[in-house]
């Protein structure tokens, strides 16, 4: 569809689509939105690597692909290593990597493939300083295999292997802070982003293309299927996660932290507003909610302090 010039002028993100209709994501999928933005930001001169995750399926079975860009499907734990290898090949063969007209090398992996089984390869990718971008799309569980907990699943969440019930066998551990592990590697650039804030996400993607060295973005991407939430609430949930400071937006560059919150000075909204829209938190007691709320605020204060000291 042709977009009228006056409308196009007002768009805050590019109108061009490189992520085609006909992909096979569930309704309301945050990851599919995220992919669409990444492809909008980088266009087709991008090499994608996707390990086992929802996006393997979203991209489509052989011989189809929803991507207008080359895409390599790889094994679960290898994203960091494969993008390192691709970058090395591009350099050996004399391609320009990154920059305005250069090739962008992107790894796109879920939280399980990043925080758990893929952590070692991610660490290697960061430590060796490859010129690429690793995006962890965080939907807080192994959604493609049927909603099992990952180390990125939050405290109190129901999943199929933390099923709640009489014994209250819920997730008892707080969410692993992968972004902190990444920052410990002193990468060129690291940031959190959310599908509810596409302009912020696009800006971060553009930045990752200009900075030399490895970049990492942790993208918050709600999963209605796994979160037991209405499919039209994806953006609202992603926004609430930011507004409650459950998933604060920030970036790290050259040892400096910068908060990218819509209103960083505003007090976070109560976490309950975010939790109550999701069936996965239905087993939580009042006490559980307090524990999670306390964790969120403690982490938020810590992050604010980092931004203050290393701002």
Partner 1 sequence: MPKKVISGNYAAAYAAKHARVEVVAAYPITPQTSIIEKIAEFIANGEVENLEYVPVESEHSAMAACIGASAAGARTFTATSAQGLALMHEMLHWAAGARLPVVMVDVNRAMAPPWSVWDDQTDSLAQRDTGWLQFYAENNQEVYDGVLMAFKIGEHEKVNLPVMVIESAFILSHTYDIVDMLEQEEVDEFLPPRKPLYSLTDFDNPFSIGALGTPADYYEFRYKIAKAMEEAKKIIKEVGKEFGEKFGRDYSQMIELYKTEDADIVFMGMGSLMGTVKEAVDIFRSEGYKVGAAKVRWFRPFPREELYELAKSVEGIAVLDRNFSFGQEGILFNEAKGILYNTDANPIMKNYIVGLGGRDLTVNDVRKIASNMKKIIEKGELDKEIDWYHLKR
Binding site for partner 1 (CB under 8 A): 44-45, 47, 49, 56-57, 59-65, 67-75, 77-78, 80-86, 88-95, 103, 120-121, 123-124, 127-128
Nearer to partner 1, 14 or 268 (CB): 14
Q: Which two tokens mark 302?
A: 């810590």
- State the nearest-atom distance from the C-beta of 39 to partner 1, in Å: 11
Nearer to partner 1, 64 or 310 (CB): 64
- State the nearest-atom distance from the C-beta of 242 to partner 1, in Å: 32
Nearer to partner 1, 99 or 270 (CB): 99
Nearer to partner 1, 73 or 258 (CB): 73
- State the nearest-atom distance from the C-beta of 277 to partner 1, in Å: 32
Nearer to partner 1, 125 or 247 (CB): 125
- State the nearest-atom distance from the C-beta of 141 to partner 1, in Å: 21
Q: Where are the alpha helices (DSSP H) in the chain?
A: 5-10, 30-42, 54-58, 79-92, 111, 119-128, 178-183, 198-210, 224-227, 234-243, 271-275, 286-309
Residue 63, preceding peptide bond in cis (omega within 30° of 0): yes
DSSP element (H, E) containing 46: strand 46-50
What is the DSSP-derived secondary structure letter of residue 53? S
Q: How far apart are the C-alpha atoms of 29 and 67, rounded to whole Å?
A: 16
- State the nearest-atom distance from the C-beta of 53 to partner 1, in Å: 12
Q: Which residues of 71-223 form beta strands (DSSP E)?
A: 71-73, 104-110, 133-138, 189-194, 215-220
């Amino acid at each position: 569809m042709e977009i009228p010039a006056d409308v196009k002028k007002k768009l805050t993100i590019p109108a061009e689509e490189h992520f085609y209709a006909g992909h096979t994501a569930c309704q309301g999928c945050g990851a599919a939105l995220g992919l669409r933005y990444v492809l909008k930001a980088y266009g087709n001169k991008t090499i994608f690597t996707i390990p086992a995750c929802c996006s393997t399926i979203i991209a489509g079975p052989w011989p189809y692909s929803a991507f207008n860009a080359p895409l390599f499907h790889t094994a679960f734990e290898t994203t960091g290593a494969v993008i390192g290898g691709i970058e090395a090949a591009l350099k050996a063969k004399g391609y320009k990597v990154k920059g305005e007209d250069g090739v962008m090398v992107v790894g796109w992996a879920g939280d399980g493939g990043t925080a758990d089984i893929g952590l070692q390869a991610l660490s290697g990718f960061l430590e060796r300083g490859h010129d690429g971008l690793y995006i962890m799309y965080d939907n807080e569980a192994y959604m493609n295999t049927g909603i099992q907990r990952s180390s990125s699943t939050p405290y109190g969440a129901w999943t199929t292997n933390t099923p709640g019930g009489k014994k209250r066998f819920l997730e008892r551990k707080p969410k692993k802070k992968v972004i902190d592990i990444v920052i410990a590697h002193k990468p060129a650039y690291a940031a959190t982003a959310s599908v509810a804030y596409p302009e912020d996400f696009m800006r971060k993607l553009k930045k990752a293309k200009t900075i030399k060295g490895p970049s990492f973005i942790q993208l918050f991407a709600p999963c209605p299927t796994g979160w037991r939430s209405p499919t039209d609430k994806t953006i609202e949930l992603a926004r609430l996660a930011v507004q409650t400071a459950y998933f604060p937006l920030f970036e790290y560059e050259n040892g400096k932290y910068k908060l990218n919150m819509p209103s960083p000075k505003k007090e976070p909204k109560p976490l309950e507003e975010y939790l109550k829209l999701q069936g996965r938190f239905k087993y939580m007691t009042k006490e559980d909610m307090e524990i999670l709320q306390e964790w969120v605020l403690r982490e938020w204060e810590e992050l604010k302090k980092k931004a203050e000291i290393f701002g």
